[in-house]
Structure 1
């Protein structure tokens, strides 16, 4: 698996600092379970934060906190310089066969009580299904989505942020294609209509913090019932 679309630096840094609420954290943690490169980026951030804490602890006299205006840009430059890992150079580790791997990695699988074969899906219409995921987070809505092969999601924009993580199959959005492990971040500036690729159904984890803004009047009418 070669993940091409990664979590943003800003969101990963928020996860590393513990400032994300539960819904967003589920999406980031699930992406990390599928993406060695982002796990390495997270480790780098945590290591850098640890060094900063050690440096501050060695100060004999408290000093006023000063932050360079370009400190965050410098951090992002260091992250970009740390090239992604493609494949696994450790020959002692035997990668599991794709058929042996669960579709839902942890921690997501524990939230749902099992892998996709044991789940009870709820119909959304037009062959699509979803499973709302309960959390203690009142800021976001978390759900598993199953989009039929070759079918589009209704065209929509956003009232806030949306994270979509592919767990099985793939979808296209414009010229970009998102496969297992890929994550798409969307906000109020994006209007789009993702389409599941024709080879198999696409199963995704979706997290939002505001209702979607659908173009179709029919979808808008049933939206309160569906809770999307």
Structure 2
């Protein structure tokens, strides 16, 4: 039975996504969540519709399209759709949502994991400046170091689950943490946990060892 997603994106984040004002890493998070969450996808589509109406109004006095503009646009859409379908067929993966597959070069088997200690592994994804994105692998029952936040950290579960002071998060759930939340995520003991995490500022750690790890792990 599919997990019922209980922790969703906020309207502010969805509006930022629709307006194109989020950093690439946060756009990736939103796109990945929307591919799993019917509720947030419907809300995002409503914001897109509003934005489309505003765009139509702003273009009401613009120059008319040339006679072949529609045909050229439809040809590009058809070509892109065929390429997209081929890519999906070649890289289908039960854990990684479609928006993540291009960032790892295929499926979960293609992720270039790097150990950061205590069995935890990460893979930093190539995104533009302004925010960072990474995949995290947390062994079943393992705890992440206790930490706080200088900015915003968004974490979405892709496999397994974790629990912290803010609740229980399973596949598709997103935790949005800011400077008000200090937490210690612990992976569910029944299964290894894989997450997508994005941040727009370094985390804050109290212990000496996590601070040392932070330097080379870039978290």
TM-score where L is the length of structure 1 = 0.77
Which residue of the partner structure matches residue 69 of structure 2? Answer: none
2:158 paired residue number: 167
What is the match of residue 46 of structure 1?
48
Shift of 1:54: 4.8
Shift in Å, 1:168: 0.4
For 1:18 and 1:38, locate their aligned partners in 2 and report how far apart those are by CA, in whole Å: 17
Distance 2:134 2:193 in 1: 14
The alignment of Structure 1 onto Structure 2 pairs a total of residues equal to 187
1:32 maps to what in 2? 34
- 1:147-166 aligned at under 5 Å gives the runs 147-166=138-157
The alpha carbon displacement at 1:101 in A equals: 5.3
Superimposed CA distance per residue, residues 157-207 of structure 1 (whole angstroms, 9 cap, x where no aligned partner): 011110101100000112611110111111111101111000111000011
Match runs of 1:74-223 below 5 Å: 102-135=94-127, 137-174=128-165, 176-223=167-214
Q: Specify every segment of 5 or more residues in structure 2 that has no aligned partner in the other structure, as ranges.
A: 62-91
Single out whichever of 199-208 and 212-221 deviates more from structure 2.
212-221
Residue 120 of structure 1 and its aligned partner are, at CA, apart by 2.8
Shift of the alpha carbon at 1:118? 2.9
| SS at 1:223 equivalent | helix
Which ranges of 4 or more aligned residues in structure 1 deviate by more than 2 Å?
48-59, 117-120
- Within the alignment, does 1:14 sit opposite 2:5 as a pair? no
Give the distance between the partners of 1:124 and 1:113, measured in 2 at CA: 22
Output the TM-score relative to the length of structure 2: 0.80
Give how far 1:222 is off.
2.6
SS in 1 for 2:115: strand
Change (3 A) 1:221 1:101: closer
CA deviation profile, 1:59-88 (whole Å, cap 9, x unmatched): 9xxxxxxxxxxxxxxxxxxxxxxxxxxxxx
In the aligned structure 2, how far is the partner of 1:157 from the partner of 1:175? 13
Q: CA deviation at 1:119?
A: 2.2
Question: Quick check: which one's helix share is greater?
Answer: 2
Q: 1:56 to 1:139 in 2, by over 3 A?
A: closer
Alpha-carbon distance in structure 2 between the residues aligned to 1:215 and 1:117: 34
Q: Shift of the alpha carbon at 1:51? A: 3.4
Q: 1:134 and 1:175 mapped to 2: Cα distance? A: 29
194-203 or 210-219: which moved more? 210-219
Structure 1's unaligned 5+ residue stretches are 60-99
Q: CA deviation at 1:57?
A: 6.8
